[in-house]
Chains A and B, each alone.
Chain A
Amino acid sequence: MTVTPGSPPTAPAPAPPVEPALDPAFVPNPTVVVSGVSVFFGPKVALSELSCSFGPGVTGLLGPNGAGKTTLMRAVTGLLAVSAGRVWVAGGDPRSDRAVQGHIGLVPEDEAVPGGLTPRELIRYRAALHSVADRQAPDRWLAVVGLLDAADRPMDGFSKGMRQRAKVAAALVSNPTVLILDEPLNGADPVQRANLIRLFRQLGDQGRTVVVSSHVLYEVERLAERVVVLVTGRLAAAGDRRGIRNAMADRPRRVLVRADPPRVLAAALAGHEAVGGLEVDGDRLTVATRRAGDLALALPGLARSAGVRLWEVRPLDESLEALFRELVR
């Protein structure tokens, strides 16, 4: 899967500079600027005074379910009106400026596709709506996403992965400058997943602004150099993916150790510098640490010297949600 269709997009009018360049939530030459945006659904706050920007290249939008990723993406594309704040895409308001829509491509998370339509029909429609002159463009994008063989089959019978790929082609056929991808890898098999990741990286390398959302950390790490983390509608972290990863690695963790006898192991661990706290409950020992790596290295040796048998060692809060919660503290 290589990207050939479409020339590199014309540089859109720059969005207004809004924040100091040193703030990692902002990029120097943004194509998408989100300024103080809040979105309310009745009493529910989906986004709260969010400010950040996106520029050329791939940016990963990371967050647990319900963090506001989809809401932000819909606000950026103009599908949702913001309750407060402003959004600029290519120098215009995506909600009211129809010309801006010529720059935007969206792959939504939901599986909905027009009933009875084939991918070729959908992509041709999108091409016609965007006045794409190149009549071969639909078929080329179908080939890029690996759907040429299924181009004339109704999408009703497609798997989720195939629908996602059809929507990717439909979004790309207009040669958008800004590509918003909401969980685009959902349902894709491992081969297609790798192909799509390569495709998105190539699109970013071409100078397009590609924003990819996911709640899977390793997926975003493979896709994007820059990461923006949302939690409960707020900006939790932003910046280089390694910095984010390090911030997550240094956070306090709790490790469950099942050992026999646990109190002896607790006594052996008590003086170790990686240990921040200990709690014994039956045969379970909970260890609080800021240096999980050091603890993992030291634990077997300490247990052996204390004559303790280890049954189980596992982190208690390794889920992404726990990481995100820690980031917003």
Chain B
Amino acid sequence: MSAAQPVPARSRRRGRFDPQMAVVVARYALRSCFPTKRRIGLALPAAGALLFALLARVIPNSAPVALAQVADGGLFGVVLPVGCLVIGDAVLGAEVRAGTLHFTWLSPASFATIVAGRWLAGFAAALVALALPFGLAAVVAGVPEAIAPLMVAAAAGSAAYVAVFVLLGALTRRAVVWSLGFVVLGERLLGTALSGLAQWCPGWEARAVYARLGPEALDTLHRKGIPEGGSAVVRLVILTLVALGIAAVRLGHLRLSGPSGD
């Protein structure tokens, strides 16, 4: 091949971000990535949130303190990451493994558009499956003033979580294993020890959102060196954007070799 190739414009090659097309991708992802079984699976974390709220009622502390206790260990420690893991894997990683991503990949839509659409679908699912139950949990726990703080924290945290899990879906076929590794080893083990790392962990930052906005928060929810409230939301937004940006680049380097992976 000796003929010189005309170099197309960068935007033509990669395509432009198209918000309308991202909505098209999101609607499709919501329909195709959440079949009945997965929807039932998503009901489990929601049920878990309500069970933790019931647990708060039997803790011999004031209702806000009890809610903060279950929020720390249960809602933000278990329900949020597990629910987001299921959702984040469903919108990208599961499709890569199933060999059906090519229906989306083989289109003029830019990788940024595809990733944004997938994330949008995951975020919408997380709002319904996690943020709403978190709000309901505040009611069940008898702390109605915590409804908005819990929902905001859940929404901001799930936005970042889903973005991270979408990124892992674009990076590896074993996205679930790596996602679990991120939560257990990265967040819980290393994040507990290192504040510098915890600043960029969705779970810790979601706690920090609630720590500032919530009616009463335990000392464990306040953590030195981690920004709280609005600053934590900004961190989570930055984390979301960075993860989605890397995922978009990575999507262009995926080897889509069918369901077997051969």
Contact = CB atoms under 8 A, between A and B. Distances in A.
B219 interface: no
A102 interface: yes
Interface stretch (A91-99, A185-193, A283-291, A304-312): A91-99
Contacts of B14: 96, 98
Report, as a range, how many residues of chain A touch the other chain.
35 or more
A84 to B, nearest CB: 12
Contacts, number: 112
Contact of A16 (B3, B21, B258): B3
Given A98-B109, A110-B259, A116-B31, A36 B1 contact: yes
Interface in A108-154: 108-110, 112-117, 121-122, 125-126, 128-131
Interface of A: 16-18, 35-36, 41, 70, 74, 77-81, 86, 91-93, 95-99, 101-102, 104-106, 108-110, 112-117, 121-122, 125-126, 128-131, 170, 174
B24 A129 contact: yes
Interface stretch (B41-49, B96-104, B205-213, B226-234): B96-104
Interface stretch (B138-146, B154-162, B249-257): B249-257
Contact of A170 (B103, B256, B258, B260): B103
A98 B99 contact: no
Given A96-B14, A97-B12, A114 B256 contact: no
A36 B259 CA distance: 27
Contacts of B111: 98
**When A and B form their complex, which 3 residue pairs have the shortest distance between CB atoms, in order from nearest?**
A98-B15, A114-B32, A129-B107
B106 A112 contact: no
Interface in B1-46: 1, 3, 5-6, 8, 12-15, 21, 24-25, 28, 31-33, 35-36
Given A18-B3, A96-B14, A97-B13, A102 B108 contact: yes
Contacts of B6: 91
B254 to A, nearest CB: 8
Given A81-B255, A115-B32, A129-B24, 9 more contacts: A92-B13, A95-B252, A96-B14, A98-B13, A110-B99, A112-B98, A114-B95, A129-B108, A131-B108
Nearest to B256: A79
Contacts of A35: 1
B256 A17 contact: no
A45 B111 CA distance: 29
Contacts of B104: 129
Nearest to A121: B31
Contacts of A18: 1, 3
Point out which of B100, B108, B252, B253 has the most chain A C-beta atoms below 10 A from its C-beta.
Answer: B108
Contacts of A81: 253, 255
Contacts of B25: 129
Main secondary structure of the interface of B (DSSP, over half): loop
Nearest to A156: B35
Contacts of B24: 125, 128-129
B105 interface: yes
10 contacts: A36-B1, A70-B258, A74-B258, A79-B255, A79-B257, A93-B13, A99-B108, A109-B258, A110-B258, A126-B107
Nearest to B104: A129
Contacts of A102: 107-108
A101 B260 CA distance: 24
A80 B257 contact: yes
Interface string B54-96: 0000000000000000000000000000000000000000010
A113 B35 CA distance: 12
A99 B103 CA distance: 16
B143 to A, nearest CB: 38
B102 A116 contact: no
A101 B258 contact: no
B103 A114 contact: yes
A159 to B, nearest CB: 18
A41 B258 CA distance: 14
B36 A101 contact: no
B213 to A, nearest CB: 38
Contacts of B106: 77-79, 101, 104-106
A96 B1 contact: no
